[in-house]
Chain A
Amino acid sequence: MEKIALSAESRALIDLEVAKFPGEQKQSAVMSALRIVQTEKGWLAPETIEAVAEYLGMPAIAAYEVATFYNMYDLKPVGRHKITVCTNLPCQLQGADKIAEHLKAKLGVDFGETTEDGRYTLKEGECMGTCGSGPLCLHNNHKMHAHLTPEAVDKLLDELK
């Protein structure tokens, strides 16, 4: 496997996370570090995970364990825009199923799939802790869009080039 290097920007951000923990506990920064490099590279290739492990001085397998356990890490390439829709009960009662159906029809993909042009990936999500504003979705893990209607979804999709 080819070795990859972390960018200076990513390393600087990771260093800020490492500084939050006692000196001998660098591994505590692994979740943030994986988030930071995923944000930069779009997904976590095995060699990316290994580079993070090496940077933090931890075994690669321990970093893999983390990357495979938490569901917001992408271990395969995703579209430029990953849309994660919460379909859990409170959101469902507030109309999330209609939003999910609308997205599937509009994009021509099911949950877990990416559009052919590589622009969108659609994902089913679990509770995002914001039920009162449902239906809602996350864009690329970090930006939440609440009170969704089919019209609001159309507008959002148009904006995401």
Chain B
Amino acid sequence: MSLLSPSIKVCSWTQEHDNPASLETYVANGGYEALKKILAEKTPAEQIVEQVKISALRGRGGAGFPTGLKWSFMPRNFQGDKYIVCNTDEGEPGTFKDRDIIEFNPHQLIEGMVIAGYTLGAKAGYNYIHGEIFELYESWERALGEARRAGYLGKNILGSDWDFDLHAFHGYGAYICGEETALLESIEGKKGQPRFKPPFPASYGLYGKPTTINNTETLASIPWIMRHGGQAFLELGKPNNGGAKLFSVSGHVNKPGNYEIALGTPFGELLEMAGGVRDGHKLKAVIPGGSSAPVLPADIMMDCTLDFDSIAKAGSMLGSGAVIVMDETVCMVRALERLAYFYFEESCGQCTPCREGTGWMYRVIHRIENGQGRPGDLDLLMDVGTNIAGRTICALGDAAVGPVHSFIKHFRKEFEYHIEHKKCLVGG
């Protein structure tokens, strides 16, 4: 990484050390200092929430909701059990940043969750880990054991009169559990079907108790904010888009991987860090925020900076920061067919528009891809999509529609060519 690179390390700094995941590495570089200070000074919860608000930290899991505001929804004076839950159910195609925090910097997440537990008045926390990364579930368990033995978890944390423990929860293959209320159902040992809201988890969450659910990267950013101050975090990024963020770059680039950069960095700089579009090819399109985010053509994307507001203005969303890069060899019909299949496969089946509509959209795109498309198919797809969006309990329905509508909007010619000529415009 050159000195001129836009990289800023809030969550990924341990990777520059020999044993990135170890407690020794973390502690030797200021780890758990924020927690020590809070417990020693008995920092009032309001002050911590205030710093998080000043930081303009927005949820890193996809929705971009202001974290400080979310925390302020927790009932301060509720006397019973409360919970903090971390969402590491990372299964949005293109997203693979939270897994790296678990693998390379677990203690920063632990410290973030402990501070969150202290601030929100929780006695326990759970980290829900995506089913397919069992090896990281095991390594997270080991990190929890280290933290417990060192007195950062359990009874009388660091000699204080405060108890708090954290546990690992392992998913077993369901994208929908990344939705926060489906995730809670799953922890309760049920099918992961989202709950109707309201009530929101802050009033009726895990086991019916007040609960806050935050993304892994969100919680792992908390110790940095408490050590350096909310204002310093805000200044890493830009107004309303505080901090640095991990971007997962996949697809047709020379160096797929995670890159942590300041929010507001031009897209072209991230593309360069990822080695550029694979050799000899041209950028065609980018999905900027995970598979649910509307696709953007190359020329629009090259004008964007990477922050919530810029990408929203361009008609997509920053989402989880999963940047899927496609070069000129990609058939957009085939790409969309695969995404449509994903949402069909992962719809939980609870709401009729999503359960039936995702399958319908997939079947129509499948027949277009296979040379059996009909003249009215594109209008049909737009119509089915419109009748799913906004008519379901959770956002999976909308997420399934975003790619369909945006692929047709920006690449309509390719779809029409497929229908008319029964073959692909790209590469025959």
Contacts and interface: CB of A to CB of B under 8 A. Distances in A.
Nearest to A25: B207
A92 B188 contact: no
Interface in A5-21: 20-21
Given A20-B167, A126-B175, A143-B135, A29 B189 contact: yes
A72 B132 contact: yes
Residue of A93, A127, A129 with highest tally of chain B CB at under 10 A: A129
- The interface residues of chain A, by DSSP majority, are classed as mixed
Contact of B174 (A20, A28, A70, A131): A70
B144 to A, nearest CB: 10
Interface stretch (A30-38, A75-83, A153-161): A30-38
Contacts of B249: 132
A116 to B, nearest CB: 27
A132 to B, nearest CB: 4
Interface stretch (B40-48, B85-93, B146-154, B355-363): B85-93
A70 B91 CA distance: 13
Contact of A66 (B170, B191, B248, B258): B191
Contacts of A66: 189-191
Contact of A93 (B90, B190, B250): B250
B181 interface: no
Given A35-B172, A89-B291, A93-B251, A131 B256 contact: yes
A127 to B, nearest CB: 4
Contacts of A92: 335, 338
B93 A125 contact: no
- Size range of the interface on A? 35 or more
Contacts of B174: 69-71
A90 interface: yes
A138 B132 contact: yes
Contact of A62 (B92, B190, B326, B338): B190
Nearest to B336: A89
B179 interface: no
Contact of A72 (B90, B131, B256, B324): B131
Contacts of A149: none
Contacts of B134: 141-143
Contact of B189 (A22, A62, A131, A132): A62
B95 A27 contact: no
A69 B171 CA distance: 11
A129 B170 contact: no
A132 B131 contact: no
Nearest to A92: B338
Interface string B327-350: 000100001001100100110100
Contacts of B175: 126-127
A132 B191 contact: no
Nearest to A27: B189
Interface in B134-169: 134-135, 167-169
Contacts of B173: 70-73, 126
Contact of B250 (A128, A131, A142): A131
Nearest to B81: A22
A14 to B, nearest CB: 12
Nearest to B126: A20
B186 interface: yes
Contacts of B96: 129-133
A7 B38 CA distance: 46
Residue of B98, B187, B325, B326 with highest tally of chain A CB at under 10 A: B187
B208 to A, nearest CB: 11
B132 A30 contact: no
B190 A65 contact: yes
Given A132-B250, A134-B250, A144-B133, A88 B190 contact: no
Residue of A58, A72, A73, A141 with highest tally of chain B CB at under 10 A: A72
A58 B131 contact: no
Given A73-B172, A89-B291, A93-B324, 5 more contacts: A70-B173, A94-B256, A132-B96, A144-B132, A144-B133
Q: Which 5 A-B pairs have the closest CB atoms?
A: A27-B189, A72-B173, A128-B132, A90-B250, A71-B173
Interface of B: 81, 90-96, 98-99, 126, 130-135, 167-175, 186-192, 207, 248-252, 256-258, 287, 291, 322, 324-326, 330, 335, 338-339, 342, 345-346, 348
Interface of A: 20-22, 25, 27-32, 34-35, 56, 58, 62, 65-66, 69-73, 87-90, 92-94, 125-134, 138, 141-144
